[in-house]
Amino acid sequence: MTAPLELHAFRLLALCIPLLAGCAGAQATEDAEDWKMFGRALVLVQTVTSAAASSDDPRAAERSVEQILSGKHGEANRLAGDILDEALTDMPAQYRGTLLAVARDMATIARRDAARESGGSDAAAALQARKDLAAMGLQYHDAGQFLEAVKRNDALAVELFLAGRGVNVDARDAGGRGALEIARAAGNTQMARLLTRPR
């Protein structure tokens, strides 16, 4: 089962428009670093659009775009990483948090789509979450890494740990606090909601 073309078009727009809008300052300031970032964003957008336009078969175009948007295209990943590193360096904290929340939401959407395409089984979703954690350098069964993700407010990693179903969510840190206690003590209501969400 493939996602409808409209969903791919939405993801493409969701990827391209913020990149170009985020680099629009380059036109105003004519600063060399801003133009460099704008150039990277342009190459990334061109990579996505070229893949979509490279075939007359609509399904082939969908598969190409999906490969890029799901993080399976090395060059696109590198370009996106460079752009994100540069953007986050000078970005005010309030916007950085919003951008990271958007990224987490997009990753959640991508995982749900992958689970649906694989038949929607819990096992497939858990396996994908474990692969995603491994790609981040984390072990799906490591309770210490899970608690550290809660402490640093890394909602994406925490969500993957929960979806991976390999970590003891009742684990305690050296001070005897569980994940929910850690989140509440830090005043992190979003993390607390994530930890108490039915699974």
Question: Would you list the DSSP string of 45-64?
Answer: HHHHHHHHHS-S-HHHHHHH
The CATH number of domain 122-199 is 1.25.40: yes
Instruction: Please tell me the predicted confidence (pLDDT) of residue 55.
Output: 67
List helix spans (H) across 54-188: 58-69, 74-90, 93-117, 122-135, 143-151, 155-164, 179-185
pLDDT in tens, 87-145: 667 777 777 777 777 776 777 676 666 656 655 567 888 888 899 898 889 999 999 99
Q: Does residue 46 surpass a pLDDT of 60?
A: yes
> Where is mean pLDDT largest: 16-25, 53-62, 135-144?
135-144
Instruction: Please tell me the predicted confidence (pLDDT) of residue 72.
Output: 66
Instruction: Please tell me the predicted confidence (pLDDT) of residue 101.
Output: 72
pTM for this prediction:
0.46
Point out which residues pair with 178 in neighbouring strands.
172
Instruction: Find the mean pLDDT for residues 68-77.
Output: 67
CB 97 within 8 A of CB 104: no
Of 58-62, 80-84, 105-109, 142-146, the range with the lowest mean pLDDT is 58-62
**Considering the chain, what percentage of its residues have pLDDT values greater than 70?**
55
Report the C-alpha gap between 48 and 41 in whole angstroms: 11
Q: Does residue 58 surpass a pLDDT of 80?
A: no
How far are the Cα atoms of 66, 144, 171 from residue 4, in angstroms, in the given order? 11, 40, 41
Between 27 and 169, residue with greater pLDDT: 169
Q: Mean of the per-residue pLDDT values for the chain?
A: 74
Q: Between 32-53 and 58-69, two packed helices, what is the crossing angle to 10 degrees?
A: 140
How far are the Cα atoms of 7, 8, 27, 45 from residue 20, in angstroms, in the given order? 20, 18, 11, 8
CB 129 within 8 A of CB 111: yes
Report the C-alpha gap between 61 and 125 in whole angstroms: 25
Instruction: Please tell me the predicted confidence (pLDDT) of residue 26.
Output: 44
Of 69-73, 172-176, 182-186, the range with the lowest mean pLDDT is 69-73
pLDDT in tens, 134-183: 888 999 999 999 999 999 999 889 999 999 999 999 999 999 999 999 99
HSE toward the beta carbon, residue 169, CA cutoff 13 A: 17
Report the C-alpha gap between 51 and 63 in whole angstroms: 9
